[in-house]
A and B are shown apart, each in its own frame.
Chain A
Amino acid sequence: MEHIEFRKISKSYGAVEVVPPLDLSIEQGEFIVLVGPSGCGKTTTLRMLAGLEETTSGDIFIDGENITDKRPGDRNCAMVFQNYALYPHMSVRDNIGYAMKVHGAAKADIDARVEEAAGLLGLSEYLDRKPRNLSGGQRQRVAIGRALVRQPQVFLFDEPLSNLDAKLRVEMRSEIKLLQRRLGTTAVYVTHDQVEAMTMADRVVVMRSGVIEQVDAPITLYERPANKFVASFIGSPSMNFFDARIENDQLLLGHQRLQLAAQEAERIGDFGRVIFGIRPEHCRDSEAAAQLTFGVEVIEPLGSNTLLLGTVGDQKIMAQVDPRFAAQADAPSTIPIDMSAAHFFDPITEVRL
């Protein structure tokens, strides 16, 4: 069932259009992640949903109700901010229970729900501390607890993990995901970290300059990126791109010819100029593998695998190979390319072929 719907919403500051008219619908109970480089309008979009930013045009619906002109407090959303935004002079208990208290809930009710949320988030022993005496991870848990007890219809997360260290981020991201699934509350989550987006989302919304580039399940984004931008943004290490030609079912890369996979050959066997994309991890053997020789410049052994950095002609390439792969720096090396995992984009529109 459709829960949240953006209909042609846009945002301009003066003459600058930050978010051109945008459509998006979010299902009930879905975990949606808005991802994109900084300045892509993802936070603005989230803040428009929260009501903290006015929309320039368009409408936002929650549960079929037009909430575009409603005050933030009347939208029944709960938001978690990047900088936690805790009330510094209140204890953890008061922080979590404050909204309930203001809205006139009974003391016993508040206590029960605060205790429950604290238990859920592992904050029980910190309830009487002030935020100042908590670590970053604990503070963010308090912020999440504050959102939790309100039992909102929508959770909004604005880069909640950006201020945490890498290890904590990994922990928190699965915790948030689990929590959301358990509560079944629709969640909209903003991040610039594609790993966060991929691991947490039911569907990912990839944005660039206020425009939605693709909305899909994480695995679809990875396997079938809609365009070159999405292809380069999703996946780590990121995809290699080459200017190339397709002729006679073969890919011409410099002087080398790589045989297309049968399916691709049938579809775009004589396309002409293309952008050829291959992920470093797809430099592997397969039934449809073709051999590519390139000049290795740097070898980075990571243990579980090894990265080869080099150039094909004047174009850079990064390949991920077995740790024992025989390669030498400053010498040419030949690696297999799994052509069934290759991506091709139109050189002008950069759209997937």
Chain B
Amino acid sequence: MNDRVKHLFIWPAFLLVLVITLFPLIYALTVSFQTIRIVPPTPPRFVGFDNYGDILANARFWGAIGTTATIVVISVVLQYVIGLSVALALHHNVPGASLFRVTFLLPMFLAPVCVALIAKMIFHPVLGPANEFFTLFGLENLPFLTDPNFAIAVLITIETWQWTPFVVLLMLAGLQGLPAEVFEAARVDNISAWRRFRDITFPMLLPLSAAVIFIRLIEGFKIIDTVFVLTGGGPGTSTETLTLFAYNEGFKKFNIGMTSALSFLFLIVVIVFGTLYLAGARKLTQRYEQ
């Protein structure tokens, strides 16, 4: 055996990982301990944890966490509930299922910027069809994008609209992978459709559900494009999400040190939420473990 050959396989992969992920990460980490401004250019200066301290003391940061968490948690719950319902309907071949299967997936293929632009027209306070609709109920000219609560509700709606198809797609695949005989056995045993869902379908899909929600949570936290186009974080900073906050610091104020620190805090926030979620999900799946 020529053991030296293994180096040929290991090193290129290792170097690649080093160059494209580890190096930028470590570089960003060092930058986060410095003040670096591109405009106006100032020489880097080591400031220790000052950047982190400044951010943590900044109400805007905590506001951004609150906004992001609100949007993500509510929209992911909606995505899952609606997504699973639609998947169940498609799985049971409601009339026109094949048409729906295609159309339901379309929003997912659109670029978020396009989605935001479409939404901007729909939710125009005077000319949009949403206004038209609410006018039927006597609610004219609602401040869809200019009132903080309305704006967040609109963002949640758009997130849900765009990403429910993802949940549908995966849950449908999961449903179709379940053994048909188990459900036939339940039908012969006179188990009602609701109990079949509650006691068999849902528990059997739990591991997949946990994974799907996890993916959506992590992805959801990165929300920026729709917010950027639709409200720009406004009114004020009431709809500013974490990534938009970081973007504003980095590319409007060109405060690179601060932005790097913010990115790492963002990472920590995602890890905290992710860990909390996984702990909860684990407890639930363990109860139904196969």
Contacts and interface: CB of A to CB of B under 8 A. Distances in A.
B188 interface: yes
Contact of B184 (A71, A81, A103): A81
Interface string A46-71: 00001110000000000000000001
Q: Is the interface of B mostly helix, strand, loop or mixed?
A: helix
B181 interface: yes
Interface stretch (B44-52, B153-161, B196-204): B196-204
Contact of A99 (B179, B181, B191, B204): B191
Contacts of B191: 73, 98-99, 102
Interface residues of A, number: 31
B289 interface: yes
Nearest to B190: A73
Nearest to A52: B184
A86 interface: yes
Interface string A64-94: 0000000111110111011111111100000
A87 B182 CA distance: 7
Give the size range of B's interface with the partner: 20 to 34
A150 interface: yes
A28 to B, nearest CB: 21
A86 B182 CA distance: 6
A235 B190 CA distance: 39
A73 B188 contact: yes
B204 A89 contact: yes
A192 B181 CA distance: 19
Contact of B181 (A77, A78, A83, A89): A83
A87 B184 CA distance: 11
Contacts of A86: 182
B188 A130 contact: no
Contact of B188 (A79, A98, A103): A79
A181 interface: no
Given A73-B187, A88-B204, A102-B195, A132 B179 contact: no
Interface in B232-276: none
Interface string B54-74: 000000000000000000000
A196 B247 CA distance: 73
Given A87-B200, A98-B199, A132-B290, A103 B179 contact: no
Contacts of A131: 290
A51 B199 CA distance: 22
A331 to B, nearest CB: 54
A328 to B, nearest CB: 53
A146 B188 CA distance: 11
B179 A85 contact: yes
A83 B185 CA distance: 11
A89 B188 contact: no
Contacts of A103: 190
Contact of A78 (B188, B199, B200): B188
B3 interface: no
Contact of B182 (A71, A85, A150): A85
A87 B190 CA distance: 15
A242 B192 CA distance: 57
Contacts of A88: 182, 204, 290
A89 B190 contact: no
B182 A50 contact: no
B203 A50 contact: no
Interface string B152-188: 0000000000000000000000000001011011111
Given A73-B191, A74-B190, A130-B290, A89 B203 contact: yes
A99 B182 contact: no
B288 interface: yes
A81 B181 CA distance: 7
A308 B164 CA distance: 69
A245 to B, nearest CB: 52
A98 B195 CA distance: 11
A73 B203 contact: no
A203 B35 CA distance: 90
Contacts of A71: 187, 190
Contacts of B182: 85-88
B209 to A, nearest CB: 13
Interface-centre pick from B181, B185, B191, B204 (highest chain A CB count, 10 A): B185
Which 5 A/B pairs are nearest by Cβ-Cβ distance? Answer: A73-B190, A85-B181, A99-B189, A85-B185, A88-B290
26 contacts: A50-B188, A71-B187, A72-B184, A72-B187, A72-B188, A73-B188, A73-B190, A78-B188, A79-B185, A81-B185, A84-B181, A87-B182, A87-B199, A88-B182, A88-B204, A88-B290, A89-B203, A89-B289, A89-B290, A99-B189, A99-B190, A102-B191, A102-B199, A103-B190, A131-B290, A150-B189
Given A73-B190, A85-B185, A102-B189, 18 more contacts: A72-B184, A73-B191, A75-B188, A77-B188, A78-B188, A79-B188, A86-B182, A89-B204, A89-B288, A89-B289, A89-B290, A98-B191, A98-B199, A99-B190, A102-B199, A103-B190, A130-B289, A150-B189
